[in-house]
Amino acid sequence: MSEPPVPIVGGTGKLGYGLAVRLAAAGVPVRIGSRRAESATDAAERVRDVVDDADVDGAANAECVGGAPLVLMTVPFDAQAATLKDLEEALQPGQIVVDTTVPVAATMGGKPTRMLGVPQGSAAEQAQELVPDGVRVVSAFHTVSADELGDLEVELDEDVLVCGDDREAKQALAALVDRVPGLRPVNAGRLESSRLVEGLTPLLIGINIRHRVSAGVRITGLSESRW
Amino acid sequence: MSEPPVPIVGGTGKLGYGLAVRLAAAGVPVRIGSRRAESATDAAERVRDVVDDADVDGAANAECVGGAPLVLMTVPFDAQAATLKDLEEALQPGQIVVDTTVPVAATMGGKPTRMLGVPQGSAAEQAQELVPDGVRVVSAFHTVSADELGDLEVELDEDVLVCGDDREAKQALAALVDRVPGLRPVNAGRLESSRLVEGLTPLLIGINIRHRVSAGVRITGLSESRW
């Protein structure tokens, strides 16, 4: 039986495209989701342009999540609530939603080096509040540069900090991350710790602006991922 | 002329002791401060126990800061305000105070993996509000394990994220950090960004508890410190 595709909701954006490229290159089947199915199939085409044997297609967001054990969601913060509302019927108990959202102030016209305060504490906790009961949210990919993910000539060598309240859900994502060469999943604690990890994004954006780099993060002193 | 000693206010605690050990081992003269001069001289003795030719002595907090261009402050969050109040007369315009404080909830009996909300936004910004006019606060050393600093057998290999509004003050601290083998100073932006860096401490504490390590942080994609 062939492996089911990993849906990437909002996969036409930079982070979604970057993840699609890296996953496809690692042999993971991918289904890009977008509000418009046509944009999604266009994005799938762009992934095939850079990954020869990519197993990737596109569909409307709600169609692409059906039945998938794990759903990646790569929409900007100002689209998070609306997107999850659109997926209300499509998402089923037991599914895992991987939220990558960061409430950078730039979303609301502020600075990219600043964070908005989110009533729930973090974008990830807001996502957990918005998904149907029984859907488990984990958060990840806050510190990985979308540009570097999308450019296969860049050799990755950094960590992906994963937060969540469900150990099994975190492990499922960790297994997926482990398939991408150069990315190491690190258990960063409960979902509430996502507020600490989300804060790394505006910090790295500042470093990127000052040094004209695409910075990432590595936790030192950890010899292995130990999941 | 001999180099003036670097004061470490609250240097009898674990972080202060660790910094004293590393700086002394790097040939930097150090003056440990404590509320009680006797505790400070005891701590200086402990530094000399592990660093043979350490140039280190101890004094009461207010006495040790006089005239030093750069003052390290390593008190816990619940002692920060009182300590700065005690130093009100001793600190002079032009001096740099390096705040290492992190408002972990454990300070108030909560979890060490959680942060307290600070009205000013961060411990560093609170420090800036409390020092006399003309004293410049930078923040640093939030992510470096006190235990690893204090154990010279541990080879360090991690970054020190430095926040502050005064470029010259940050560079002065960066020059000091650069003298410690295995520590790289990274410009982490303005003082308000300290709230993002301070959040790394409870995150690393969680990783330390789960994996029984002394984790630190490294920013990837930066080839050099570039100050």
Residues A71-109 pLDDT 10s: 999 999 999 999 999 999 999 999 999 999 999 999 999
> Rounded to whole angstroms, how far apart are CA atoms A183 and A187?
13
Chain B, 81-100: which have a CB under 8 Å from a chain A CB? none
pLDDT given at position A2: 82
Ramachandran quadrant class, A47 (left: phi over 0; alpha: psi -120 to 50; beta: rest): alpha
Local structure of residue B9 (DSSP, 8 states): E
Dihedral angle of Cα A191, A193, A196, A197, to the nearest 10 degrees: -50
Pick the closest to residue B180 from B55, B70, B28, B10 (CA basis).
Answer: B28
> CB-based contact (8 Å) between B221 and chain A?
yes
What is the residue type of A170?
K
Q: A187–B193: do the CB atoms touch at under 8 Å?
A: no
Report how far apart, in Å, the C-alpha atoms of A208 and of each of A25, A80, A127, B208, B221 are.
Answer: 26, 25, 27, 28, 9
Cα B25 versus chain centre, distance? 17
DSSP letter for each residue of B38-50:
HHHHHHHHHHHHH
Q: A196–B158: do the CB atoms touch at under 8 Å?
A: no
Please provide the average confidence, as pLDDT, over all residues in chain B.
Answer: 96
Write the ipTM: 0.91
For residue A227, pLDDT over 70 is answered with: no
Q: A199–B196: do the CB atoms touch at under 8 Å?
A: yes
> CB-based contact (8 Å) between A203 and chain B?
yes
B51 token code pair: 């660093």
Chain B, 14-43: which have a CB under 8 Å from a chain A CB? none
> Rounded to whole angstroms, how far apart are CA atoms A127 and A85?
10
Burial of A194 (0-12, 13-18, 19+ CB in 10 A): buried
Beta bridge partners of A91: none
Work out the pLDDT band at B223, boundaries 50, 70, 90.
confident
> CB-based contact (8 Å) between A158 and chain B?
yes
Number of cross-chain residue pairs from A and B with Cβ atoms under 8 Å apart: 109
Beta bridge partners of A33: A9, A59
Report how far apart, in Å, the C-alpha atoms of B86 and of each of B63, B78, B90, B112, B132 are.
Answer: 11, 14, 8, 27, 11
What is the residue type of B182?
G
pLDDT given at position B190: 98
> Rounded to whole angstroms, how far apart are CA atoms B131 and B122?
15
CB A91 within 8 A of CB A71: yes
- pTM here is 0.94
pLDDT given at position A165: 98
Mean pLDDT value across residues A156-172: 97
- Those residues with Cβ within 8 angstroms of residue B227's Cβ, 6 or more apart along the chain or in another chain: B170, B171, B174, B185, B187
Q: B193–A202: do the CB atoms touch at under 8 Å?
A: yes
For residue A192, pLDDT over 60 is answered with: yes
For residue A42, pLDDT over 70 is answered with: yes
